[in-house]
Chain A
Amino acid sequence: MQGPSVRWRDEGRLLLEDNDTLLRFHVADHNNLLNKAASDADLYGSVLEHLGHDPEWEALVLSTYAPDSSEEQRELREAWLGRQFVVARVGGLREHDVAIWPTATFIDGVPDPFNHIHFDVVAAVGPDLVPSGLHPQNRGNKRERREARQQLAALIDPVLDLFTDERQGR
């Protein structure tokens, strides 16, 4: 399959306890994070269908990993080229009714080598979540795109705020 794709995952690590920790690569530029979430929103059709939703809906998610051992955590960090991570406790997300989906992601059919511990933390699910000002076919000017990102931020930031810099958590 050409392009990026996502599907529901039935293998690998599936169950998470409240005390488990999810790691997410840190993205320094907030606009880039919002743009990426918007650009991936249309990839979740089969996942939404699996969950009984309309596959035409969109999903705004934050990609995370749940390493099961210190060795796995080390491998993850090496593969992410020394990137900083932010962390969230599974119980903390559940307290805010944030859904956590076990998903597998691919590029041109090539799987993420860490798919077995990959989870999407869900900020929003529904129709037409990505504001029209960001859509390529009726792309707005810079002000309109900024306003569109503000709409996205209202959905994503409350979930992003549940993640903390891992260095602060120590």
Chain B
Amino acid sequence: MTVAESPYGAYRSPWEAPMATIQKTIVTTEVGPREMTAGVAYVHAIELEDDEKLEVGQRVEIRDGGGNFHAAVVDERVGPRWRLRIQP
């Protein structure tokens, strides 16, 4: 899932800075003690929706099965999986 966020909040007046849009990619996979210990999570292509195109170096948010978010960077592609390095 990709969502748009504005660092300026809602647009309020013509004198304010124009709204900038940052695209943030959210991927869903499980993050438990194993992933937190390794500092790495893998997301399989099966878990990605159509609009999720990952690239090495890309910043993403991982949403785990409990709805918690974890910042991560796409590290490498390993077969059908992407390795995501969880940010401390």
Interface residues, chain A, CB within 8 Å of chain B? 2-4, 25-29, 32-33, 35-36, 38-40, 79-84, 105-108, 110-114, 130, 134-136, 139, 142
Contacts and interface: CB of A to CB of B under 8 A. Distances in A.
A113 B32 CA distance: 10
Contacts, number: 90
Contact of B28 (A2, A25, A29, A112): A29
Interface in B1-56: 28-30, 32-38, 40-42, 44-47, 50
Contacts of B44: 35, 39-40, 136
A79 B68 CA distance: 13
23 contacts: A2-B83, A3-B81, A4-B81, A25-B65, A26-B65, A33-B65, A35-B44, A35-B46, A36-B47, A36-B65, A39-B80, A79-B32, A79-B36, A81-B66, A81-B68, A105-B34, A108-B83, A110-B37, A113-B34, A130-B46, A135-B46, A136-B44, A136-B80
Contacts of B38: 107-108, 110
B15 to A, nearest CB: 43
Nearest to B45: A136
Contacts of B29: 36
B88 interface: no
Contacts of A79: 32-33, 36
Interface of B: 28-30, 32-38, 40-42, 44-47, 50, 65-68, 78-81, 83
Nearest to A79: B33
Contacts of A112: 32-34, 37
A105 B46 CA distance: 20
A125 to B, nearest CB: 19
A114 B50 CA distance: 34
Given A3-B81, A108-B38, A28 B65 contact: yes
A26 B36 CA distance: 18
